[in-house]
Structure 1
Amino acid sequence: MLKIISNQDFEQFSQNAKDAPRQRSHHNLHESLDAGVQRLFISTEPDTYMRPHRHSESHKWELFLVLKGQLDLLIFDDEGTVTERHSLSPETNRAIEIPPGTWHGYACMQSGTVGLEIKQGAYVPTPAEDFAPWTAAEGESGADEYRDWMRSAQVGDKN
């Protein structure tokens, strides 16, 4: 079955994110969470918090493409120092592939941002040990401050 995603769909994805308590939404292209390849559109708003994490399984690379808006990808060392920062947008870098075991997090820099994530499945929720221990969990005290710090953090910075 063909799956066609239109500009109107992008507008709906963005509206879904604006309406969501977490300020982001997912639109899965894969049929089930057991699919061998996970493919999903992720719409984000600047107030979303995408907590730094890693995919520790040796086969769990992540390919992320920004199709509208801007996300900044931050790469961290094991102590939480920013080692790389990359802008992802139609005007800068469109796509990035993150190798397994890499601490990373995204900062939404523009309202209406829509990206496409592709990674090997099946979907398994991120285990607690794969969330960055130097960060607050979503909804906890300090999470909003860390999100705001991520928007401006530069290489060499540590919160």
Structure 2
Amino acid sequence: MLKIISNQDFDTFAENAQQAPRKRSHHNLHEQLEANVQRLFISTEPDTYMRPHRHSEAHKWELFLVLKGQLDLLIFDDNGNVTQRHSLSPTTNRAIEIPAGTWHGYACMESGTVGLEIKEGAYIPTPQEDFAPWSPAEGENGADEYREWMRTAQPN
């Protein structure tokens, strides 16, 4: 079956993120969580907090493409220091592939941002040990401040 995603769909994705409590929403293209390849649109707003994490399984690379708006990708070392920062947008870098085991997090820089994430499946929720221990969990005290820090943090 053909799956066609229109500009109107992008607007709907963005509206869903604006209305969501976490200020982001997902639209899966894969039909089952067990699919060998996970393909999903992720819509984000600047108030979302995407906690730094890694995918520790050797086959869990992540390809991310920004189709509308801007996300900044931050790469961290094991101590939580920013080692790289990359802008992703239609006018800068469109896509980036993150190797397995790499600490990373995203800062949404523009309202209405829509990206496409592709990674090997099946979907397994991120285990606690793959969330950065030096960053607050979503909803914890300090998470909003950490999110704001991520919006401007630069490599050391």
Task: Report the TM-score, using the length of structure 2 for normalisation.
Answer: 1.00
Superposition pairs of residues 19-38 of structure 1, within 5 angstroms:
19-38=19-38
SS of the aligned residue for 2:72 comes to: strand
By how many angstroms is 1:145 displaced? 0.3
Q: State the match for 2:5 in structure 1.
A: 5
Q: Distance in 2 between matches of 1:147 and 1:33?
A: 28
By how many angstroms is 1:116 displaced? 0.0
Q: Distance in 1 between matches of 2:51 and 2:67?
A: 21
Superposition pairs of residues 88-99 of structure 1, within 5 angstroms:
88-99=88-99
Q: State the match for 1:67 in structure 2.
A: 67
Deviations 1:1-44 (A, max 9, x none): 00000000000000000000000000000010000000000000
SS of the aligned residue for 1:101 comes to: coil
Q: State the match for 2:87 in structure 1.
A: 87
Q: Distance in 2 between matches of 1:76 and 1:140?
A: 20
Amino acid at match of 1:61: W
Give unmatched runs, 5+ long, in structure 2.
none
RMSD: 0.2
By how many angstroms is 1:48 displaced? 0.0
Q: Distance in 2 between matches of 1:73 and 1:86?
A: 5
Q: State the match for 2:136 in structure 1.
A: 136
By how many angstroms is 1:63 displaced? 0.1
SS of the aligned residue for 1:138 comes to: coil
Runs of 4 or more consecutive aligned structure 1 residues displaced over 2 Å after TM superposition: none
By how many angstroms is 1:80 displaced? 0.2
Q: Distance in 1 between matches of 2:32 and 2:147?
A: 30
Question: How many pairs align?
Answer: 156
SS of the aligned residue for 2:80 comes to: coil
Amino acid at match of 1:29: L
Q: Distance in 1 between matches of 2:64 and 2:46?
A: 18
Give unmatched runs, 5+ long, in structure 1.
none
Q: Distance in 2 between matches of 1:118 and 1:22?
A: 21
By how many angstroms is 1:118 displaced? 0.1
By how many angstroms is 1:81 displaced? 0.2
Task: Report the TM-score, using the length of structure 1 for normalisation.
Answer: 0.98
SS of the aligned residue for 1:151 comes to: helix
Q: Distance in 2 between matches of 1:3 and 1:94?
A: 22
By how many angstroms is 1:101 displaced? 0.1
